[in-house]
Amino acid sequence: MIDPHVHCRDGKQTYKETIRHVFEIANKQCVEKIFDMPNTNPPILYEKDIKERLKLVPENQKGNYFLYIGATSNKKQLEEAVRCYDKYKEIVGIKLYAGKSIGNLALINEKAQKKFYQILSNLGYKGVLAVHCEKEIYLKPELFDPAIPITHSYARPKEAEIESLKDQIKFSEESNFKGNLHIVHVSCPESIKLIDKERKEMRITCGVTPHHILWSNEMLNRPDGLLYKMNPPLRDEKDVETLRQYLKDGRIDWIETDHAPHAIGEKLFTPFLSGYPSLYLKDFVSKFLPDIGVDKKLIEKLTFENIYKIFENKLK
């Protein structure tokens, strides 16, 4: 299997997770290749960051480690990002945080995002643009009360994801973006509907995490509920049911774990970080998915074939 969305941390966050350790657990989970995300500390934005990052890859895993380069609205940085995409086989695409999640790597306002798409289109970029969709003006951080963890899902409502997704589609169309727009960790059925509507018009794909398929936000009501705090948050029972159905219907392109470990104290106490160590694909794929009626052929597509198709130029 390929896991096209992990956070290996390393650098100043080595105490949370490392590339070496992710490969150890990935291999036990039958995952061969991983795509790392650039919201590290320091973030991956320039060629020098890529070079440093690649030094951390264990010798026996070269060829299995891939990563996204981060995006800013700075023209020079984006030129370098596109150049690195062309130059390094390991760079699978550009990642845009259209809302702040973990780290400071984000382009939160519409004007900056619009400019970003325009620059990328002018540069003739045709690779994958992976976007974390959560629109800041719809977030209500004041609603989060750590004593009642489920308030996290009210603080980051699904409207934030849906409205951000609409923005990405609009900016992508307006700028005549020729790349593949990939919406990461889709958390609600409304997003899938919007994406399906665009599939004929543009190159667009979406991924879902195991946790958004497995659990509703009821998990946040458990005594250890803070552990289930992630961005975007877990949604209600009805949304989970519908997401499962859409997965079975083949309306989701792939599974991406969004494996994002923190130290347990950072989750249970201030700053109550979002993220879940979710690289447990083996049981999810061999037991849970067949149990809810996803057939073997579709599982192969969700964990390998569909991913391979989009990233073939990098993976072959």
Min dist CB 16 to Zn ion, Å, is 13
Stretch that binds Zn ion, among 15-23, 50-58, 255-263, 296-304 (CB under 5 A): 255-263
Min dist CB 256 to Zn ion, Å, is 8
CB of 17 or CB of 258, closer to Zn ion: 258
Min dist CB 246 to Zn ion, Å, is 20
Which strands sit side by side in the sheet containing 65-70, from one edge to the other? Answer: 2-6, 33-36, 65-70, 91-97, 128-132, 180-183, 204-208, 254-255
Min dist CB 303 to Zn ion, Å, is 18
CA proximity to 310, closest of 263, 239, 256: 256
How many residues can be counted in the chain? 316
Stretch that binds Zn ion, among 192-200, 219-227, 238-246, 258-266 (CB under 5 A): 258-266
Stretch that binds Zn ion, among 20-28, 58-66, 257-265, 293-301 (CB under 5 A): 257-265
Min dist CB 280 to Zn ion, Å, is 16
Closest residue to Zn ion in the complex (CB): 258
* Binding letters toward Zn ion, positions 12-51, x by CB under 5 A: ----------------------------------------
CB of 103 or CB of 146, closer to Zn ion: 103
Q: What CA–CA distance (Å, rounded) separates 47 from 87?
A: 10
Q: What CA–CA distance (Å, rounded) separates 175 from 196?
A: 20
Q: What CA–CA distance (Å, rounded) separates 209 from 108?
A: 23
Which residues, 6 or more positions from 218, have their beta carbon under 8 angstroms from its beta carbon?
A: 150, 237
* Binding letters toward Zn ion, positions 259-278, x by CB under 5 A: --------------------
Min dist CB 173 to Zn ion, Å, is 25
Interface residue with Zn ion among 3, 161, 239, 258 (CB under 5 A) is 258
Q: What CA–CA distance (Å, rounded) separates 258 from 277?
A: 8
Are 133 and 161 a contacting pair, CB within 8 Å?
yes
CB of 5 or CB of 115, closer to Zn ion: 5
Q: What CA–CA distance (Å, rounded) separates 117 from 165?
A: 14
Helix (H, G, I), strand (E, B) or coil at 116: helix
Q: What CA–CA distance (Å, rounded) separates 261 from 212?
A: 16
Stretch that binds Zn ion, among 64-72, 212-220, 250-258, 296-304 (CB under 5 A): 250-258
Provide the CB-side half-sphere exposure for 261 (13 A, CA).
Answer: 19
Min dist CB 121 to Zn ion, Å, is 25
Determine, following the binding rule CB under 5 A, whether residue 253 of this chain makes contact with Zn ion.
Answer: no
Stretch that binds Zn ion, among 137-145, 186-194, 254-262, 303-311 (CB under 5 A): 254-262
Kindly state the number of chain residues that form the binding site for Zn ion, as judged by CB under 5 A: 1
Which residue pairs from 282-286 have beta carbons closer than 8 angstroms and sit at least 24 positions apart in sequence? 282/28, 282/29, 282/30, 284/210, 284/214, 284/255, 285/1, 285/255
CB of 44 or CB of 298, closer to Zn ion: 44
Residue type, 143: L
Residue type, 31: V
Min dist CB 88 to Zn ion, Å, is 21
> Other C-beta atoms within 10 Å of 176: how many?
11
Binding region for Zn ion (CB under 5 A): 258
